Amino acid sequence: MAYQGFAQEYLGMPAVTRAYTTACVLTTAAVQLEFITPFQLYFNPDLIFRKFQIWRLITNFLFFGPLGFSFFFNMIFLYRYCRMLEEGSFRGRTADFVFMFLFGGFLMTLFGLFASLFFLGQAFTIMLVYVWSRRNPYIRMNFFGLLNFQAPFLPWVLMGFSLLLGNSIIIDLLGFTVGILNLITSIANCDHKRDNLCSLSGLEKLRGAAVLVCLYLMVNLRISNHKLHGN
């Protein structure tokens, strides 16, 4: 019965969410069982463009680290918000959802060229959370029973939680930046009013995007300079 319930739930997942979460879980399982190593998966521009290891453009989005709290935390958020986006704002628009995936991955790869980021899956999850939160601005959220807030504040709460854990915020900033740029492409042909994307003017969206892009580049430049002087 448990197996049938799991199979029914799995097959009931929308196609893109099912494909991406399955790929992430299988990749982590393969690393855990030592069929492959993270060194074969991480984002390395030199190996991609000089050794033609093209698969790294994809695999760096599929590995979230070894089994542990961080992995399960990311998987829960990935599954939850990817599914809600696909079944909500992108219901009946699978091609648009796939385009959002590809466009977001392309932008992250470009930004990744200027930063020492080896895996971009966590930033991709933040992007999905950000896009969902802006498309559903009136939903009330509860974070671990401690905080109550509206959906647009969720990415910032997650960034604060990440800081409390001692993690770098550059991943969160990258996710925010790409999420905003993804929203701008949707606003350009603002024909889906139900997503609440037209509540802010295009100028406000562009200004927000510019601020986050500048902040991301400033943080990355500061880290790069620190490493350079440290060496």
Q: CB–CB of 128/154 below 8 Å? A: no
Q: Describe the chain by its helix, strand, coil percentages, rounded to 5.
A: 70, 5, 25
- Whichever domain contains 142, its CATH number is 1.20.1540.10
Q: For the stretch 98-133, what's the b/e string if a residue is b when 16 or more beta carbons lie within 10 angstroms of its beta carbon?
A: eebbeebbebbbebbeebebebbbbbbbbbbbbbbb
Q: What is the mean pLDDT of the chain?
A: 80
Identify the band that residue 186 occupies on the pLDDT scale cut at 50, 70 and 90: low
pTM for the model stands at 0.81
Total number of domains in the chain = 1
pLDDT value of residue 199: 47
pLDDT value of residue 225: 45
Looking at the predicted structure, is the pLDDT value of residue 159 above 70? yes
Q: Which structural domain, as residue segments, surrounds residue 125?
A: 2-230
Q: CB–CB of 37/31 below 8 Å? A: yes
Say which residues have a Cβ less than 8 Å from residue 115's Cβ, sequence separation at least 6. 170, 174, 220, 223, 224
Identify the band that residue 212 occupies on the pLDDT scale cut at 50, 70 and 90: low
Give the pLDDT confidence of 107-129 residue by residue, as tens digits.
Answer: 899 888 877 788 999 999 999 99
pLDDT value of residue 19: 94
Of 45, 41, 43, give the one whose Cα is nearest residue 28.
Answer: 41
* Stronger pLDDT, 212 or 164, i.e. the higher one: 164
Give the pLDDT confidence of 219-228 residue by residue, as tens digits.
Answer: 555 554 455 4
Give the pLDDT confidence of 60-104 residue by residue, as tens digits.
Answer: 999 998 888 888 988 998 999 999 999 988 888 888 899 889 999
